[in-house]
Structures are given as structure tokens and as C-alpha cells.
Structure 1
Amino acid sequence: MCDDDYEFLGVPDPMLRSSWEHCRDIVLQAETGGYDNILLPSGYALGIDTTAFAAAIAPMLRRLALLMAVRIGESWPPQLARQIATIDRMLGGRLNINIISSDLPGETLPSGPRYARTVEAMRILRTLLNGEPLDHDGAFWKLKVDPPRITTMSGRAPLLYFGGLSPDARDAAARECDVYLMWPDTRDNVAAIIADLTERAARYGRTLRFGYRAHVVVRESEAEARAVADRLLSRLDVAQGAAIRARSLDARSAGVAAQTALREGAGGDGYAEDNLWTGIGRARSGCGAAIVGDPDQVLAKLQMYRDLGIDAFILSGYPHQAEADLFARHVLPRIDHAPLSRT
């Protein structure tokens, strides 16, 4: 969705550019491949529009759920609530929302106010999508409105996924989200983040579920998987990789800084720990590491995260369709998986 599909990282391929046709084919393949849910990311300056795409693809799906990213800085919450309810109806009740604490285009709010605005937005959305009238007197919105006549299929707000590592982001997650998303990290750091967010949420009388976003390279042998990972970077120009990272809207976030630290602390082969390869981050901002190995190793790595408390995985690879097919054949049938639902 955001012009981030490659055969060789950092080398644009016209056949893999963000387009209706290419993104449609990825989603339809995910449905036939047995996946439960698919992330539709969003970038103001990159790719095609996420909300429009979600509405277009919804009637084509029979079982797959959509995780639609929405950029709060670009949204008016009551209108967004109506869009969410409408698309959820088109999907038969299978829409989830990934909240992004974005700025307005051309605006740069400090972290504290930006995340405070995101907290307000999540509260507004949850109230309206739960079918309740809204009387909100906040710092960013002052609204007194009835809920949308069009409700979600369940009559309740969908699951709100949200991520961020800064103190302000963690507090926002503890206050309002349902599923806290994190990017790849070492086992100990993942455990520490889960413990911290669990404690923060408890202060507000809440509990969180946890999701893990990572890339995957799975092949029949570890040696083959490592060779494929190396091939991904074989045509990367260092300056081009730096330019890709710099142009990202989140290039200076705490999460990106953590991915940089993970990459810089990795061994000379780019592995931060067994089967966690940081080379992806040399050619992209954001999620910058991949689980690399044979099917047993990938499955064991995912199970380790599950044992730590991860409930949901958002996985991807390069090129998207080819790696999704490999994961669907080698790993997915061995996982007891189902759509994440409200508890």
C-alpha cells in the first residue's frame, strides 16, 4: 500500500509499485492462503489511499478480516467513525483499526500533544462506534453529537491496534487501545515491553493484548533462508537505503530509534539473536527485522513470542506475494490460529 514491495530491497520494480491491481492481488491471495487478517498500512505521501482501498476490496472477501490503518492527524473523528461503520458492514463485521498518531500534513506537533490528541480520538471513536451519544470537551475536539445511524455489525467499536515506544505513546496505549503493537526486538526487550505496558494499563484499570510486527524469510533449510535474506540486500546502494529511511514519516520516532539500535547492536552477519535478522532495516524505516530460518525455526520463534504473551502477529516478506505463499505452505498450517476477537 505504501510503495514498499521489492524483489531487491531499495530497487524499485514497476510491477511491484503500489496500485489497485497489485494490492488487490495480495489481499485475495492472503484470503485463499488461509490468513485471518491483513494490515492495510497508510502513508500520507506514499502509495494509494487506504480507506478507499478497504471499501473497494471489502465486497470481494468472504472470510478475511482487514486491519485498516487510519492517520489520526488527517481525520475528523465523527466522519471517521461513520467510514469505519460503513466498511465494517461491507465486510460483514470483520474490520479492525490500526490507529496511527500522525501529524496533519505540514504540521509537527510535539510528542505530548500529538499523543494526547490520539487519546481523544480513540475515546471519541470508541464512544460513537459503541452506539453511544458523545459529549466531549477536550483540548482538540469539542463535540456533542449522536452516534452514527450506521453501526458496525456488532454494534460495538472494532479492536483498536496501536503502537509506539516513547513514554507518551506507551501512556496513550495504556489508556485507550485494545492491542499494543511492537516491532521486532530481542526476547528480553519484548518481555520488558510487555511487562511495562501491562503495568501501565493496570493503573487505568485496563488490560491489553499484544501484537508483534515482523518480516519473515522462510525456506526449507536455514542456509537457504539466510542466502535469500542476503540476496534481498545484494543490490542495495547505501545512499539509497539512507534516503528511503529518511523519507519515512516516522523516521525520527522512538520506535525507529530502537530499530536502529537493534541493527547497530547486531553481529557482523546482521543477526541480533538466533534467527532475528536486522538487514531489512538497512532499506526501510519502521519495522526493520525479519525472522529468518527453516519452518521449524520460524515456528519455534513465533511460539517463543507467544509464550511471552503475544496474541497476534503481523508478518510480511519480500516480494509480498511470494513470501506470503511460502509462509502459508510451510508454517501457517502448523499454527493453531484464528481471527483475534474481543475477549
Structure 2
Amino acid sequence: MTWSNRDALKFAYWVPNVSGGLVISNIEQRTSWTIDYNRELARIAEKAGFDYALSQIRFTAGYGAEYQHESVSFSHALAAATTKLTVIAAILPGPWNPTLAAKQIATINHLTNGRIAVNVVSGWFRGEFKAIGEHWLDHDERYRRSEEFIRALRGIWTQDNFTFRGDFYRFDNYSLKPKPIDPQPEIFQGGSSRAARDMAARVSDWYFTNGNTPEGLAKQVDDIREKAKENGHAVKIGVNAFAIVRETEEEARAVLNEIVEKANPEAVNAFGHEVKNAGKASPEGEGNWAKSSFEDLVQYNDGFRSNLIGTPRQVAERIVALKRAGADLILLGFLHFQEEVAYFGEHVIPLVRELEQQEATAAIAAE
């Protein structure tokens, strides 16, 4: 049979628009937060077969991230430097009003022929909100605001004379012109708490979860998709992972060990204190990072837990196992982005495609 791209797993990478790389470690990271490095990285990723790039949103320094480029304008620059890559701009309700976000994204949508999406970040870092004078909401209130934010974005993008009466946002006969070209910009969100999953099951196109085993991921996927079905909604799933792909598993494990051994304990523990408080603040106490170990926290989003560490064949097989568990997209971080994204595209993605085709062929033969 011929493999259909429609069913193929998607790949995304974290945009290093924030200094410090993707691990809180003093290990060498041949990665730069500069625009020249990131433009070249975007071109490499596009050629390597990546579908998306996800920019980060930070307003203050901390945990190895001294410098932070703003996400929406940076995303536009990367989309302008490529021809196929879709760039996902992280947006934080509070600092952003949906009016501004809708207009920014609609304009970039036209300038890039639709290659811009949004990741609505509900917020976990209380100190950052305090530093910039933004009001801090309780955990579930932050997700209620994010849901209104998404409903407002969709309304502004699709309706004339848009009227909305929420607890956080109000609109009265507002018409945005030009609206985005179809298909409308995709809306992503993250989180592991009950509130995050329920929000995804109602309004989001994509749900990002922290790194996880196939078994742990499957439980989240089943929960979200069952609730989405009840709502007459459909949501796709992206899972975070940090990839260390080397010629031998021993080499890859040695790199992981060095990352952890050279971790900055003070920074990791400070990050852990903040994010674990955020996770435990959910009513059920199971938000992102609530159960993360020190090693997990060395990579911001539990990327080591997805276990994409080994040879190209091992990593490809583990990626397909995540797909079996319900993943539609793998969101990847790397130690040395440009060279490792190129290597991943040459040695891992083709193996994933082979395995996908083999499984599809076997499934048809079994019918």
C-alpha cells in the first residue's frame, strides 16, 4: 500500500527563542537564542520533515533563561524564513488581550499564507505575573480565562459583529477585517490537570501533554477523547519529548547521564519549587510536574520520561509506540538543535515512516 501523509505522525520542535537551551544543565549546548541561528534552524527543520515549530513565551529571566525574544514577532520571522513550516506562537492570557492576539495572528496568517498557529499558555509562574504587574488567578480560574480567550479568538476570526459576554472578556458587535484565511489558525494548549484536559475536550484543536510513557499517555488520551466526544468535539494530542539519538544506546545514555550530572541543582530545585506548587494547586493535585523527579525537572517538560534516548531504530520504535498510545504529534527538544534536528530528519523520521506503513499494511491484512 502507499503510505498516506494524512495519517502520518506530525513532528514539532521547541524554538530556542529563550537562552539556556532546553535543559537546566551546565553541559555544552550548541544552541543559540539568536534570530540568525533560529532562522537557519527553521530551514533545517523544514528540510528534515518537521511540520511545526513552537515558540516559547517568557517575560522574566530564570532557570538558565537570561534572554527571551517575544514569541509572536519571533514566530513571524521564522515563518517568513521558510516556505512550509507552521510556527506556533505561544500567547499568555493576561499580558495579551484576545483582541490584540486575534489581530496579530490574522495579519501573520495573511503574510505567511496560513502558516501560523497559537499555543494558549494558561500560566504557572506566579513570580513572573507579579514582576510584570499582572493579576494572579487561582489554578482553575486561569483555565476558565484561557477557555474564554480561545472562544473569543474563534469568534473574532469567524464572525462579523461578534458579541461575547464572559467573566474575563467582553465584546460588543466587533468585526475584524481581514479575518484569517481558511483553514483557520490551529489552537494548541497544554496542561495535565483536570481543568486543562476538560478545556481541551471543549475548545482546543490540539492538546500538549508533558513527557510520558506510552501507558501514561494512553490514560490521558482516553480521558480527553471520551470527554471531547461527549461534547461533540475532536482534539489531537501532542506529547513532549527530549531526543538524544546516537549511533549506540550507550552513547545516548552517556549524554543523558552527563546532562543530569552537570545539572544546576539550585536552578532545578527553584524551578521544581515553582512548578510543583503550580501542579499541586489544581484541585486534584495532578497538574503538570506534580509528580516529577529531579531528573525529570532538568528538562522543563518531563521530556526524558518519553525515553527517546538511544539509536535511531530504538527511538523510531518508541515514537511509534507513543503513536499507538494516541499521540498525533511529537514535540521535540534537543541538546544541539541544528545538527541534531538534521540528524533526526535523516535517520529517525524515515524509520518512523517505514514502521507506520508496516503497521498500516498489517492492519489492513488483518481485516
* Fold in common (TM above 0.5): yes
Q: Offset at 1:12? A: 8.2
- What is the aligned counterpart of 1:263 among 287, 293, 298? 293
One-letter amino acid of the counterpart of residue 162, structure 2:
L
One-letter amino acid of the counterpart of residue 261, structure 1:
K
Structure 1 segment 130-141 matched on structure 2, within 5 A: 130-141=158-169
- Secondary structure (helix, strand or coil) at the match of 2:219 reads helix
Classify 1:99/1:294 alpha carbon distance in 2 versus 1 (closer, same or farther; 3 Å): same
Q: TM-score, normalised by structure 1?
A: 0.84
| Cross-structure match for 1:186 | 213
Q: What residue ranges of structure 2 are gaps of 5+ in the alignment?
A: 1-16, 62-67, 355-367
Q: TM-score, normalised by structure 2?
A: 0.79
Q: How many residues align?
A: 319
| Cross-structure match for 2:357 | none
Distance across 2 between alignment mates of 1:287 and 1:222: 20
Classify 1:14/1:203 alpha carbon distance in 2 versus 1 (closer, same or farther; 3 Å): closer
- Secondary structure (helix, strand or coil) at the match of 1:335 reads helix
- Point out the more displaced range, 8-17 or 108-117: 8-17
2:138 paired with 1:123: no
- Secondary structure (helix, strand or coil) at the match of 1:61 reads coil
| Cross-structure match for 1:84 | 105
2:79 paired with 1:58: yes
Structure 1 segment 1-343 matched on structure 2, within 5 A: 1-5=17-21, 9-11=24-26, 16-46=31-61, 47-102=68-123, 104=129, 105-106=132-133, 107-154=135-182, 156-246=183-273, 252-253=278-279, 259=289, 261-263=291-293, 279=295, 281-289=296-304, 290-336=307-353
Distance across 2 between alignment mates of 1:85 and 1:57: 16
Distance across 2 between alignment mates of 1:3 and 1:34: 25
Distance across 2 between alignment mates of 1:215 and 1:133: 44
Distance across 1 between alignment mates of 2:18 and 2:173: 34
Q: Offset at 1:322? A: 2.8
Higher relative contact order (CA 8 A, sep 6+): 2
Q: What residue ranges of structure 1 are gaps of 5+ in the alignment?
A: 265-278, 338-343
Q: Offset at 1:100? A: 0.7
Q: Offset at 1:92? A: 1.2
Distance across 2 between alignment mates of 1:80 and 1:228: 40
Q: Offset at 1:132? A: 4.0
Classify 1:187/1:58 alpha carbon distance in 2 versus 1 (closer, same or farther; 3 Å): closer
Does the Cα contact within 8 Å between 1:71 and 1:99 map onto a contact in 2? yes
One-letter amino acid of the counterpart of residue 216, structure 1:
A
- Point out the more displaced range, 183-192 or 234-243: 234-243
One-letter amino acid of the counterpart of residue 197, structure 1:
I
Q: Offset at 1:157? A: 2.7
One-letter amino acid of the counterpart of residue 206, structure 1:
H
| Cross-structure match for 2:365 | none
Q: Offset at 1:135? A: 0.7
One-letter amino acid of the counterpart of residue 316, structure 1:
G
Percent identity (aligned): 25
CA deviation map 1:137-166 (0-9, x unaligned): 111111114332122221x53111112112
- Secondary structure (helix, strand or coil) at the match of 2:142 reads helix
CA deviation map 1:182-215 (0-9, x unaligned): 1111222211111111122123221211111111
Does the Cα contact within 8 Å between 1:251 and 1:286 map onto a contact in 2? no
Does the Cα contact within 8 Å between 2:279 and 2:289 map onto a contact in 1? no
Q: Offset at 1:235? A: 2.4
Aligned-residue CA RMSD in angstroms? Answer: 2.6
